A and B are shown apart, each in its own frame.
Chain A
């Protein structure tokens, strides 16, 4: 198969997020970027497909600080080629990201070969003005299904499992080439020993392609960004584990929960 995975990092929310002085964006100085869970799952799903059906896996990532380690990890896991789209990407919006990915993919082959599957995260917590996948698919004139948790290619079609809610899922069939928004891979993302990543760093190279983001600009002004107010926050129980546990037992007993 002709497999692509498209990656875009998100801020790590384990770190403290600080609103910048303009009150409209996050303070970049304190941000750490990482691949989102769904990005990791998209990579895993592509690796599973490659193992099953053979073919070539190309990973395309929008450049970001501290990205290279993640990309070498992807190479160590089994990607054949990794391309960084670099340039003045700044605070790239979803639709601009979709346009950059679309331009790259069209440059590879237009139209793409029939056995092409393009995988990317279904959505991410910074997609304020929309998801990348469905817009990318629209640019390329390809079918798209999102929130996918299973992928079964079969000749010129692919059958996918999409999540609804309450544990209910649905199966859809679509012709390839196609774009899939991956929510979870069929298996947990694999672990790759650091030694293999180091080996990839020595033996393989990341390609860089310079791109100019489209002149999309802000489609709407963010008036302000702020942290949730402290109102309505939990009553915090302090003390040693012993003291906290005693207090919890007391509270649960009051509610006749024990």
Chain B
């Protein structure tokens, strides 16, 4: 019998994250191509109730224990390690997400199974699994071949459609008791994003600024354009980290996911961690001095120019139009 594929389900605050369904869709395709069973590890305190939604899998293994409240990566890796051994899994999929970060690395170091990070595409070739990853801020792709389909793949968010992994079917569910050391790390509480600022997820137009905006003072130019367009300003991580815009304005992996009708990206390179938060926008226009910037791969329209030169001219023209 062919060995199985195991997906680590991801959930936060009692809800399954999209990445879980994205991996389920991708895993289903692989499992069918390899003739392998598709399994899910659902780990965490109070997680058992989520199993019924994982019908795209053949079987769900539930490890629901009180001490597993947001368990650390090492504990997660221990649970997965034990499941892999018991169930003879050969391929493991985890999310390349803040939540699961480190789980694959520790599992790889302990088990000797190779880990491939940043996966965006997966295909089966003669029983091997070929993983395409996006490296160096999206500027380079690499293909890695996992011979015999054995390994751990850390899957980027937004790389596969989530709908492909949703199913009405009821999966087979098995509660598993895995003995793990109680983690030394304890979860204390959630820290909610500050309320009161503009909700960038509700805007129809966003003017997004990246490191290319260069100074805090230049942000006011973007604000003027956003105002003329009836939208709001948001930014990439470096701009937020510099304190030029509040955390509520961050778009991307750790920040917000936005889908405005217009996303105007100024001086943003288009790193995968940024793109995952804005790729659902209807129209993306990018201004960047680097013609090779990956942002031009997701934008419909691009301008290879200094954003600081385009900004005032564009603002004037839009204002003039409104009269």
Contacts and interface: CB of A to CB of B under 8 A. Distances in A.
Interface residues of A, number: 83
A30 to B, nearest CB: 12
Contact of B250 (A126, A167, A251): A167
B61 interface: no
A123 to B, nearest CB: 6
B136 A168 contact: no
A125 B136 contact: yes
B12 to A, nearest CB: 6
Contacts of A227: 139-141
Contacts of B302: 233-237
Nearest to B70: A170
Interface string B90-105: 0000000111011111
A98 to B, nearest CB: 8
A130 B297 contact: no
Interface stretch (A59-67, A133-141, A197-205): A133-141
A173 B185 contact: yes
B136 A129 contact: no
Interface in A212-252: 219-228, 232-237, 241-242, 244-246, 248-249, 251-252
Main secondary structure on B side of the interface with A = mixed
Nearest to B309: A241
A19 interface: yes
B253 A143 contact: no
Given A223-B130, A235-B300, A257-B229, A129 B117 contact: yes
Contact of B290 (A14, A131, A134): A14
B140 A225 contact: yes
B257 interface: yes
B215 to A, nearest CB: 13
Contact of A228 (B115, B141, B237): B141
B202 to A, nearest CB: 14
A37 B241 contact: yes
B304 A174 contact: no
Interface residues of B, number: 97
A29 to B, nearest CB: 16
Interface in B220-265: 229, 237-238, 241-243, 247-248, 250, 253-257, 261-262
Interface string B197-227: 0000000110000000000000000000000
Nearest to B137: A13
Nearest to A224: B143
Given A167-B255, A172-B186, A220-B144, A131 B321 contact: no
Given A168-B191, A253-B321, 12 more contacts: A129-B108, A129-B115, A130-B109, A163-B98, A167-B255, A172-B188, A228-B138, A232-B297, A234-B299, A234-B300, A236-B301, A248-B301
3 closest A-B pairs by beta carbon, nearest first, are A167-B193, A234-B302, A130-B105
Interface of A: 10-11, 13-14, 16-17, 19, 26, 37, 41, 94-95, 98, 122-123, 125-131, 133-135, 137-139, 143-147, 159, 161-175, 181, 183-184, 187-188, 219-228, 232-237, 241-242, 244-246, 248-249, 251-253, 255, 257-258
Interface of B: 12-13, 17, 70, 72-74, 97-99, 101-106, 108-110, 114-118, 130, 133-146, 151, 183-193, 204-205, 229, 237-238, 241-243, 247-248, 250, 253-257, 261-262, 269, 271, 283-286, 290-292, 294, 296-297, 299-305, 309-310, 313-314, 316-318, 321-322
23 contacts: A17-B140, A41-B241, A128-B142, A130-B115, A133-B102, A143-B183, A143-B184, A161-B191, A165-B257, A167-B255, A169-B191, A171-B189, A220-B116, A223-B130, A228-B134, A228-B294, A233-B302, A234-B297, A237-B301, A242-B313, A244-B310, A257-B283, A258-B318
